[in-house]
Amino acid sequence: MPGKLKAKIVAGRHLPVMDRASDLTDAFVEVKFGNTTFKTDVCHKSLNPQWNSEWFKFEVDDEDLQDEPLQITVLDHDTYSANDAIGKVYIDIDPLLCTEAASVISGWFPIYDTIHGIRGEINVLVKVELFNDLNRFRQSSCGVKFFCTTSIPRCYRAAMVHGFVEELVVNEDPEYQWIDRIRTPRASNEARQRLISLMSGELQRKIGLKVLEMGGNAVVGYLQCFDLEGESGLVVRAIGTACTLDKVSSGSAPNTNTHVHPNTAPASNACNSPSKDGKEPVFGEDLPSSSGPPTPFRALPTSSSSPPPFSPSKPCSRQSSSSDTDLSLTPKTVEPKPVRCRPGIFLCPSSPTLSTDTLSLPGSGSVGCGHGLSSAPRATTPPPPSSIHSDCALLRKSVSFTEDLLLAASGMGSGGSAGKEAGPLKTLLRQHTQTALEQREFPFFTLTSFPPGFLVHVGGVVSARSVKLLDRIHNPDEPETRDAWWEEIRQEIKSHAKALGCHAVVGYSESTSICEEVCILSASGTAAILNPRYMREGCLDIGSTDHRFEDPSPPSCGFCHIPYDELNMPFPAQLTYCYHCRRQKVPDVLFTTIDLPSEAAVTGKGCLIQARLCRLKKKAQGEVNATAISNLLPFMEYELHTQLMNKLKLRNMNALFGLHIQISVGENMLLGLASATGVYLTALPAPGGIQIAGKTPGDLSNEHHILTIQKRINDTIAKNKELYQINPPELTEEGLGSPIPEPRQRSRLFRSHSESSDELSELDLSHGKKDAFVLEIDDTDAVEDIHSLLTDAPPPTGFYSCNTEIMPGIYNWTSGIQMFTSVRVFRLSNANLTNQGLNKIFTDLCENLLKSFYFKLRSMIPCCLCHLNFTVAVPEEELIQVAVTAVAMTFDKDQAQEKPAEKPINKGSSENEEQLQFPLELCADVSSANTQPSSKVSGTVSLLTPAAKLCQNQLVMIHLPGVPESTNVSSRAASVDYGSFADRCSTWLELLRLKAHTIRRGSVKTSRRTQSLAHSVSSLERCSPLPEGRSRSLRSSRSFGGSSVTVVKMTPLSFLPGIRIIKYLGIINMFFIRETTSLREEGGVSGFLHSFIAEVFAMVRAHVAALGGNAVVSYSMKECVLMENPNKNQAQCLINVSGDAVICVRETDQEPTASMTNIGQTCCSANDGAT
Amino acid sequence: MAVELDVFVGNTTIMDEEVYQLWLDGYTVNDAVKVRMEGGVLDECEASADVLLSDTMDQYRTFQMCERLLHSPAKLANQCSNDFPLLCLSLFRYYAFDDAFVREVLGKKLSKGTKKDLDDISAKTGVTLKSCRRQFDNFKRVFKVVEELKGPLVENIRQHFLLSDKLARDYAAIVFFTNNRFETGKRKLQYLTFQDFAFCAGQLINNWTVGAVDNMVEDMDVDLDKEFLQELKELKILITDKDLLDQHKSLVCTALRGKTKAFNEMEANFKNLSRGLVNIAAKLTNTKDVRDFFIDLVEKFIEPCRSDRWTAADMKLYLTHYTNSAHILDTFKHQVVWDRYMGVIKSCIFKMYHD
């Protein structure tokens, strides 16, 4: 129930001039939380007011603490007229509610106005005194930690991974309320910002409740999204993976279970106790009691006409999911053992087979179009008769595509076939796992990388899409309908996974694309078999007794082995024995949505592979429109898949990681963009080449043409092999004894089924490999396609790119990073565009964007663009918008090919044990061993790029004649807060001034390799202040006061190279709206968006710095909606960003700074006091 | 079909020095792209013209956004920015100026009128109009800010604009010249560079202003010390008193004899030259004559010497003895004023005596 929030307004600086007459401002501040408002005194006639207010105290429910932001409004006092607002600051106080995170928020926050942008800054102090709530029926969930990071955060270990949590809240969009007609744009924007802030808070709280319910204490891979549905409302939804995390602290006791709120503590104890006793029997006891139907392998019919077996009836345990009743809704993994676990809390029975006819849910009927796999995927399956055809006004057609196409390429092999000695045990294990997982409603995990041993097998990508009409929602203000929609999709995903013989889905994500009243819901993930021990409660500590059940497959290839039965393959695929262990079957190609497992064996380097596609569609309304879209979707997926496959072959690779397919809907077109990182997995067979086949034999010119193309393709493949250093060890195929008798089904990717095949032998120029991939040219489309295949330019020398966290094949990152966001909007002026023309435009747009990045970042060579995240949208009829966020990281070229010899995992004990006991090992790794290899690289100056090195030497030379360099290096560390600006300023200035002497015009000839400026700066940033005491610097500091400036690093990755994260401070989730009525004056749309993005960065940095952090990891821009009306000189933009605020230190530094320790101590003491 | 929007924002700004210089020099985006293409960036990075155009536009936009900050650099530090050091670097470039340009406006009123003439100056100096405008606005901005500040001029400039020592001194010179409206544009002064003037300004600021005596007055480094200028009138005695003049001459001549080839000319011209220098001193109470200070120096002293082919060493020798001999004159009581005056004159003339 209670908590006391205290806020103090200290000062402001650089406020805008609000009174033209005096060129000054009479500023005061309103501090609002919930319905309580306090005001400071007016500070007359100052642009740098010092309020130094008292502590404003708010006594509130912890529920409110979680939902509401602290709202600070800076106003200009006006005696006669209304006070003018200068701007606002919203502070999310959630990080203060978690005992382990920040203890105080203190810092300069940019004052933000939706019309004018940032207008000065305000210094605020915020603290929270929380009294623990022991009420078991409470609605708050303080203390649950949230992470955007999609892996187990460094400096934690996962005691248990509970599973999927999701939540969705709906509200009316203020922009569409009647009042919006009379209020100002500013008021409307602010209402929206505030509402979304509130909704995010509420959402987090509710998710937190679910997590506590499951016995967890954290959400990892938290993904929150907004759907701006327009008239029908504003939806904020989130998914994540509930975990129990233990903090790994170097030195102090790692047991942090006590930090969890008391009422959850007993629960988790209950769960854990059996294991702690150490006498938990392993599988033997579990098995008999397992209740779920253990149907591990499901055969998919191979003919396209038969109805998919899974779609019509779905387990639907959540019909009414109004978000308040959700406690009951997440079924827990029911412990098969008769453990005394809170009875009555699990309202949901364990069996997932509670199937409900979906008819009862309006709009949720789904027509699963399970396509037969071997046949031409175009043949759309007629809706099975059993599917629901009731004619409610709703569009009920949902297109689910996936299995066939994606899987066709992906996946495979359960060890079942190959399993020798461990056969029966394995089956038992499998069954057990299956049951454990099947008992959950959705065995989904938003994580994309896993502790070693977690992932047993990977099946392939599963995805589902569904088209919905927003204007047909009966009760738009309630979440039921949307809940049902997502429920439906998740069920579909689940059944797809099952069809692949997998019991879980990892790397799971959900997204929407909305245009007018049509909404495409998408979900995708990777079907996988997981090691059960991380799912079961209390399984962790039993450890080694279990390992004999473990899959004997080595970690570097085990995940590639097919998870399903060879005899009942869900689709035709070519299986071979694993090229690595030779014991089990692997598919020829593997597609996944996860990151490359760190233990996987890879040959050469990876690269970004994109498939791009545009499809025109007629403009239409309502149901017709929705039908048109759903009819197009399968073809788009197919085309995208074909493109990916071809490009993969062209690069001589055999697996895709981080696959993300986005389909975006516009009024007159659909855009599809698939991005993934291609790699050559050593365990998988070498891909064959690509072979071109002509349609009409005898036509000489045509044949010649084909020969030329074939040659080009072969050349490209050869070039790519070299480029990505793919030199797999040649294997004698015989030795494998692979039973692949059936001829390759070449027709699979044929563009048509006309004649073909006969002339293949003549034209066989192929790559020497027996099974080349055949592309037939039978019309101009095909020619175009092949051309476009070849147009993708490889990145320039020195560059690599990938969309996964790190580049497979590069292991020695240096510390140079540059995070960036880029947005491009392209206007199609040509009214009569063809699909081909559009495709070309779209492809060029993406390619040019990449080229721009390479060019801009050329000074960082050798470097790799990591986590390239493309988002496409069709904001208006003739516009295509592409937004990209990525990070460029430098690496050491010389050692780029070698994997660090000592793998961090190796810590004594047998191999099996290692895998099994990952959590313990993991923590140890992260803190110590893991850092070893890279810290070697990151010695002293070697961290810096050559230019920077030069500059640093200069600095040392100039300023520190007497100080040994090593001192400098250590002080450079990550003590990023430079104390007083004066110091920092003076050092830099000294150097800069010196440098500037030479910059006088004419005296310096600008070199061609120019970016040394940026370089020297980045190195300067690392040089922390030098001993002060020079009279001049002291003097010049006077005018700036003692303010501190913090350099905050940002990265979309979960880590920073060469830097160790020592503390997670909480999630950053911010939503901003910016509007302008003077677009031209602000430099057009580009100028407007540029400054807005820069402002968003600045605000994120400020908030992180105020929490005491110095970096943001897992940063992402979830939403960037730009609306413009150049004729009216107006534009509006919404941006949503999120990430994890962290404190990090250089790996060379052993101990965190003193202040850090203090924070820790205060945390502890606060906790003690509270309990 | 066109790219309607194209932005690239980094967590730390990426800045290309070459493009920055082109921007400062007032190149349009298209011209800058041309220059860069000729420079060969493209070959280096396997990029296309489109990429270059996009990059250039992006850089230009970044600079325009930074420009706002550069105008009030003291704020730089407080923006929650990772770019502080970068901004500082760009700042120096931004406030750098062309000597050719500054020579044209030196001593002129920084008014709208002058601004209108910038296109002529641009044509004359070959500096693009945009660049001229920027430099002009920089002068004006610095002038406005320091106008109302107490304390040493150079220090104020350095603090408020975070400029290097050298650049701050140059700006101080510009402010000083502008404030006193020294005439620098006459044909006879054309041979003098900005650095000559900047040096002289430094001398004047350090010795003749109010600030040389009292360092807490407003405008202390900008206005000449009125009392001092009044006292300079007293020096007239050196030329009005016939005995004193002769005595001075003989002292100087004795000291110089045999030490220089130009001795004869020195002896012949002594009275003329001395009259010239003292008259300049005596007239400095008139604002009009202050403005003509440099032209007077050239006309009354430098030109006659030059026509007599004095070497720089001759000049040094002459002025040293000329100054020192005055101390020996019994009846000449204004030694302090004389030193304060001649010290500056001496170093100015040394600096200005070249081709």
Please choose, from the candidates A648, A637, A515, A654, the residue with its C-alpha nearest in 3D space to the C-alpha of residue A579.
A654
Question: What's the rounded mean pLDDT across residues A1125-1141?
Answer: 92
pLDDT in the model for residue A53: 93
Three-state secondary structure readout of A1066-1089: EEEEEEEEEEECCCCCCCHHHHHH
Q: Tally the residues of chain A.
A: 1171
Q: Which of residues 5-44 of B touch A (CB under 8 A)?
A: 5-21, 39-41, 44
Return all residues near A344 (Cβ < 8 A) that are at least 6 apart. none
- Asked if B97 and A13 come within 8 Å (Cβ–Cβ), the reply is no
- Best B3, B13, B14 member to test A by mutation, with max A CBs in 10 Å, is B14
Structure tokens at A1153: 């700074």
How near does any CA of chain A get to the CA of B204, in Å? 23
Q: Are strands A655-665 and A590-591 parallel, antiparallel or unpaired?
A: parallel
pLDDT in the model for residue A775: 65
How near does any CA of chain A get to the CA of B160, in Å? 8
> Could you tell me the end-to-end alpha-carbon distance of chain A, in angstroms, rounded to an integer?
14
pLDDT above 80 for B216:
no
Q: Which of residues 163-192 of B touch A (CB under 8 A)?
A: 163-167
pLDDT above 80 for B324:
yes
Report yes or no: A4 at the B interface, CB cutoff 8 Å. Answer: no
Dist CA A130 CA A136 (whole Å): 17
Residues of chain B contacting A121 with CB distance shorter than 8 Å: 78, 80
User: For A1039, which of B74, B79, B93 is closest by C-beta distance?
Assistant: B74
Please choose, from the candidates B185, B188, B183, B196, the residue with its C-alpha nearest in 3D space to the C-alpha of residue B303.
B188
How near does any CA of chain A get to the CA of B311, in Å? 30
- Best A15, A1001, A1135 member to test B by mutation, with max B CBs in 10 Å, is A1001
State whether residue B164 is helix, strand or coil: coil
User: For B158, which of A852, A992, A1036 is closest by C-beta distance?
Assistant: A1036
- Asked if B55 and A855 come within 8 Å (Cβ–Cβ), the reply is yes
Report yes or no: B126 at the A interface, CB cutoff 8 Å. Answer: no
Average pLDDT, chain A: 68
User: For B7, which of A822, A985, A1001 is closest by C-beta distance?
Assistant: A822
User: Does an H or E element contain B3, and which?
Assistant: strand B2-10
A294 by Cβ neighbours in 10 Å (0-12 / 13-18 / 19+) ranks as middle
pLDDT above 50 for A930:
no
A677 strand-pairing partners: A608, A657
pLDDT above 90 for B327:
no
pLDDT digits (tens, 9 = 90+) for A1055-1089: 888 888 988 998 999 999 999 999 988 888 999 99
Q: How far is CA A476 from CA A171, A234, A657, B295, B340, in A?
A: 8, 9, 38, 85, 88
Return all residues near A178 (Cβ < 8 A) that are at least 6 apart. none
Dist CA A517 CA A1085 (whole Å): 26
Q: Which of residues 694-753 of A touch B (CB under 8 A)?
A: none
Please give the single-letter amino acid code of residue A956: V
Structure tokens at A191: 């209402």
How near does any CA of chain B get to the CA of A95, in Å? 21
CB pairs under 8 A between A and B: 228
- A232: which DSSP letter? T
pLDDT in the model for residue A779: 62
Contact between B196 and B351 under an 8 Å Cβ cutoff? The reply is yes
Structure tokens at A33: 């939380």
pLDDT band at A122 (very low <50, low <70, confident <90, very high): very high
Angle between helices B17-24 and B84-95 (to 10 degrees): 40
Using CA atoms of A568, A571, A573, A575 in order, give the dihedral in degrees to the nearest 10: -20
User: For B88, which of A821, A992, A1049 is closest by C-beta distance?
Assistant: A992
Using CA atoms of A514, A520, A526, A532 in order, give the dihedral in degrees to the nearest 10: 90
Question: What's the rounded mean pLDDT across residues A93-107?
Answer: 81
Q: How far is CA A869 from CA A61, A548, A793, A805, A810, in A?
A: 39, 41, 19, 11, 19
Say what percent of chain A tops pLDDT 70: 59
A1120 strand-pairing partners: A1135
pLDDT in the model for residue A385: 36
- Asked if B78 and A121 come within 8 Å (Cβ–Cβ), the reply is yes
pLDDT in the model for residue A895: 55
pLDDT in the model for residue A281: 36
User: For B21, which of A994, A1006, A1105 is closest by C-beta distance?
Assistant: A1006
Structure tokens at A897: 């090919």
pLDDT in the model for residue A1151: 46
- Best B27, B50, B78 member to test A by mutation, with max A CBs in 10 Å, is B78
Please give the single-letter amino acid code of residue A319: Q
pLDDT above 90 for A1133:
yes
Q: Please give the backbone phi and psi of residue A1060, each rounded to the nearest 5 degrees, phi first.
A: -110, 130
Contact between B226 and B211 under an 8 Å Cβ cutoff? The reply is no
pLDDT band at A1099 (very low <50, low <70, confident <90, very high): very high
Please, what's the b/e burial string for A615-624 (b: 16 or more CB within 10 A of its CB; e: otherwise)? bebeeeeebe
Other CB atoms within a 10 A radius of the CB of residue A1125 amount to 11
A832 strand-pairing partners: none
pLDDT above 90 for A238:
yes
Dist CA A145 CA A261 (whole Å): 12
pLDDT band at A246 (very low <50, low <70, confident <90, very high): confident
Contact between A456 and A559 under an 8 Å Cβ cutoff? The reply is yes
Residues of chain B contacting A823 with CB distance shorter than 8 Å: 5-7
Q: Which of residues 856-875 of A touch B (CB under 8 A)?
A: 856-859
Residue A961, preceding bond cis, omega within 30 degrees? no
How near does any CA of chain A get to the CA of B351, in Å? 21
Residues of chain A contacting B167 with CB distance shorter than 8 Å: 996, 1000
- Best B12, B83, B154 member to test A by mutation, with max A CBs in 10 Å, is B12
pLDDT in the model for residue A38: 95
Report yes or no: B206 at the A interface, CB cutoff 8 Å. Answer: no
More confident of the two residues A331 and B152: B152
CA gyration radius, chain B: 25
Q: Please give the backbone phi and psi of residue A817, each rounded to the nearest 5 degrees, phi first.
A: -130, 150
Q: How far is CA A300 from CA A191, A443, A568, in A?
A: 51, 21, 8
Q: How far is CA A247 from CA A387, A1021, A1113, A1139, in A?
A: 49, 31, 18, 20
Q: Tally the residues of chain B.
A: 355
User: For A858, which of B45, B74, B89 is closest by C-beta distance?
Assistant: B45
How near does any CA of chain A get to the CA of B179, in Å? 24
- In A437-517, the DSSP E strands lie at 455-469, 504-515
Decide if the complex's ipTM is over 0.85: no
User: For B5, which of A14, A988, A1089 is closest by C-beta distance?
Assistant: A1089
- Asked if A1090 and B62 come within 8 Å (Cβ–Cβ), the reply is yes
Residues of chain A contacting B11 with CB distance shorter than 8 Å: 818-820, 1049-1050, 1097
Question: What's the rounded mean pLDDT across residues A101-121?
Answer: 88
Lowest-pLDDT choice from A173-177, A195-199, A1133-1137: A173-177
pLDDT digits (tens, 9 = 90+) for A965-982: 333 333 333 333 333 333
A655 strand-pairing partners: A590, A679
Residues of chain B contacting A797 with CB distance shorter than 8 Å: 46
Residue of B nearest to A1110 (CA): B82
Other CB atoms within a 10 A radius of the CB of residue B25 amount to 17
pLDDT digits (tens, 9 = 90+) for A375-427: 333 333 333 333 333 333 333 334 444 333 343 333 333 333 333 333 444 44
- A409: which DSSP letter? H
Please choose, from the candidates A709, A717, A687, A688, the residue with its C-alpha nearest in 3D space to the C-alpha of residue A763.
A709
- Asked if A1013 and B89 come within 8 Å (Cβ–Cβ), the reply is yes
User: For A999, which of B16, B44, B92 is closest by C-beta distance?
Assistant: B92
How near does any CA of chain A get to the CA of B132, in Å? 14
Question: What's the rounded mean pLDDT across residues B141-153?
Answer: 83
Please give the single-letter amino acid code of residue A356: T
Please choose, from the candidates A376, A390, A363, the residue with its C-alpha nearest in 3D space to the C-alpha of residue A626.
A363
How near does any CA of chain B get to the CA of A862, in Å? 13
pLDDT above 80 for B45:
no
Lowest-pLDDT choice from A752-761, A1068-1077, B161-170, B262-271: A752-761
